[in-house]
Amino acid sequence: MTFRYSLLALLCFSACTPLRPRVSFAPGASLKGYRVFVVGPVADETGERFNLDVGDSLREGITRRLRSHGITAVRELPTDTEDPARSVTITSALIGFRGIPMWLQVPSRGVTGCELRSELRDNQTGERLGVIVAADLAEEYSPMVLLARCAHDVADAIDRRLRGERKSAGS
């Protein structure tokens, strides 16, 4: 399904259902034992010409939101890490955008949207642990606000997964 049709479907359903990221983890995959989350660069696969570096803004948004949840998030894996196997790399791509890319800070008239896909991999083995796809649509928002919400949704999904795993381990 193309991004345009995805946005249309999301717009139709968003009026009555809150949007949450689509989260899919490999069977048996767990984030519980990982201590460091490395937030890699965010690729822009939209083909849009933005007036700001949206990739860097999204990367910073994911990193800061993870930290706000008490999760150790870094942009690069420190070389003095004792156990590099206990880290996850998050690679992301902005795969959909709707709005005026040259006016990211200005509220737009009409619908603004974004779709951000993030993949989580074990740093030592390269094994894919999971994928999170965050998408958001809104009217009368600045595109930058919506992009930040997509970044926050990715980090919040990671936090929910970690809290759920810790809770089930404590039961």
Domains of the chain listed by start with CATH number: 23-170 (3.40.50.10610)
Q: What is the pLDDT of residues 5-47, one digit of tens each?
A: 454 444 444 443 346 789 999 999 999 989 899 999 999 999 8
What is the pTM for the complete model shown?
A: 0.82
Question: What span, in angstroms and rounded, lies between the C-alpha atoms of 71 and 92?
Answer: 18
pLDDT of residue 72: 94
Question: What span, in angstroms and rounded, lies between the C-alpha atoms of 6 and 13?
Answer: 11
Q: What is the pLDDT of residues 39-88, one digit of tens each?
A: 999 999 998 888 888 999 999 999 999 999 999 999 987 676 555 558 99
Q: If you average pLDDT over residues 97-120, what whole number do you get?
A: 73
| DSSP summary character for residue 34 | -
H or E element, residue 149: helix 143-170
